[in-house]
């Protein structure tokens, strides 16, 4: 498949189409501590959108949890479902989850996606890569290859994770839930449940992973003791992986998962049991457990995560943005180094489940409104 770079004429045309689409779309204005925001619906008609990725030509690639991938044009028009997506377990919290373009996409057109994969015994989180022919009718995947799958495949429909992040060296980080009823396995190094793993793009294990060569430990594991990680992004300055994960009643966490780190779940947590409110584990801190950078109690049910590095919002540079499913908002987290020093809650007037947040190539923020099945663009109001 041949990748066609856009000429300056096509880039200009794309910009004009996008401007016209935005002018005709409904735009709402909201207050923020750094000025008025213009929030525009740029695409509608999605079914439970889960993840958003930008293609080099400005089009958007969106996963729908029900098991579909779609391309969204600059005019907001949805493509037909992309052909050859593998079967997914679209039940409960399972389905088609994260999608990212590969680090060599301009040369090989490879995308990577995570999904709840049905098995003979149950279901597990898996990751596949494939070549995307975005210009076929309909668009299609080829050379679909599963490069990672959890060893554990219990039944049920909860806590699959899963976000995908590439580092500068081309390693792929995969965040994995502990599947709720198997939470004790989050601390077991012979299990993929409740882990972050690190692999090469073809699925091979990097030789410098922290548990390579350790008896009884899976070599893919990067960090462990996680609950349900649904947000991940690399810090724009340090390059470190930052994540957030769902707690139960309280204890949603922002973490910096370093090599070999134990993040404690379910022995160390700020959360409590559902319904009863009973304490979980043995406390909120322990010397051998990596403490969270920040926690939300009560829970906000975080999902999606992005550092802002654009120029449309100079005052937001370096801030971390996190979607909230429970309270229907976008949270702006202000940082000084690795310390959280402030927080602002945005879009509370909309009150819809925000599933993902990404910075667009135009410097605007784009969020997936899961409730209404739409993509929202956030920019400064004129």
Q: Which residues are catalytic?
A: 159
Q: Distance between CA atoms of 214 and 110, rounded to whole angstroms?
A: 32
Q: What is the dihedral of CA 75, 80, 86, 90, to 10 degrees?
A: 80
Contact (Cβ atoms closer than 8 angstroms) between residue 12 and residue 329: no
Instruction: Output the DSSP codes for 342-380.
Output: EEEEE-TTT---EEEEEE-TTS-EEEEETTTTEEEEEEE
C-beta neighbour count of 211 within 10 angstroms: 18
- At a CB cut-off of 8 Å and minimum separation 6, what does 327 contact? 300, 301, 345, 348, 351
**Which of 156, 149, 153, 152 has its CA nearest to residue 91?**
156
Query: How much helix, strand and coil, in percent to the nearest 5, is found in the chain?
Result: 10, 40, 55
Question: Could you give the angle at the alpha carbon of 98 between the alpha carbons of 96 and 99, nearest 5°?
Answer: 105
Structure tokens at 166: 């590439």
Q: Distance between CA atoms of 255 and 363, rounded to whole angstroms?
A: 25
- CA distance to 154, 159, 382, per residue, from 165 (Å): 25, 18, 34
Q: Distance between CA atoms of 50 and 162, rounded to whole angstroms?
A: 10
Q: Distance between CA atoms of 66 and 323, rounded to whole angstroms?
A: 20
Structure tokens at 303: 């999902």
**Which of 324, 300, 182 has its CA nearest to residue 252?**
300
Structure tokens at 273: 């049991």
DSSP 8-state class, residue 169? T
């Amino acid at each position: 498949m041949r990748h066609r770079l856009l000429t300056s004429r096509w880039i200009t045309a794309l910009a004009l189409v996008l401007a016209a689409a935005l002018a005709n779309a409904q735009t709402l204005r909201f207050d923020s501590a750094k000025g008025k925001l213009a929030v525009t619906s740029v695409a509608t008609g999605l079914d439970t959108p889960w993840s958003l990725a930008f293609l080099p030509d400005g089009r958007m690639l969106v996963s729908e949890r029900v098991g579909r991938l779609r391309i969204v044009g600059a005019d907001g028009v949805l493509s037909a479902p992309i052909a050859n997506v593998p079967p997914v377990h679209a039940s409960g919290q399972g389905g088609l989850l994260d999608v990212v373009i590969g680090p060599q996409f301009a040369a090989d057109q490879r995308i990577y996606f995570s999904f709840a994969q049905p098995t003979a015994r149950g279901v597990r989180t898996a990751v596949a890569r494939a070549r995307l022919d975005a210009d076929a009718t309909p668009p299609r995947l080829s050379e679909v290859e599963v490069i990672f799958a959890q060893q554990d495949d219990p039944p049920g429909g909860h806590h699959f994770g899963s976000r995908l992040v590439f580092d500068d060296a081309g390693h792929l980080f995969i965040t994995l839930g502990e599947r709720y009823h198997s939470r004790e396995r989050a601390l077991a190094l012979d299990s993929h449940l409740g882990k972050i793993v690190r692999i090469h793009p073809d699925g091979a294990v990097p030789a410098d992973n922290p548990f390579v060569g350790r008896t009884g430990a899976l070599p893919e594991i990067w960090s462990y003791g996680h609950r349900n990680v649904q947000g991940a992004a690399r810090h724009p300055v340090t390059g470190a992986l930052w994540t957030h994960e769902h707690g139960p009643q309280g204890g949603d966490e922002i973490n910096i998962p370093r090599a070999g780190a134990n993040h404690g779940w379910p022995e160390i947590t700020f959360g409590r049991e559902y319904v009863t409110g009973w304490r979980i584990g043995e406390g909120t801190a322990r010397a051998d457990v990596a403490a969270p950078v920040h926690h939300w109690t009560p829970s906000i049910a975080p999902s999606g995560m992005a550092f802002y590095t654009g120029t449309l919002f100079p005052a937001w540079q370096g801030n971390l943005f996190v979607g909230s499913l429970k309270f229907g908002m976008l949270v702006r987290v202000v940082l000084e180094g690795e310390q959280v020093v402030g927080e602002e809650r945005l879009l509370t007037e909309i009150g819809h489940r925000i599933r993902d947040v990404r910075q667009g190539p135009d410097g605007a923020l784009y969020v997936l409104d899961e409730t209404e099945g739409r993509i929202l663009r956030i920019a400064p109001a004129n």
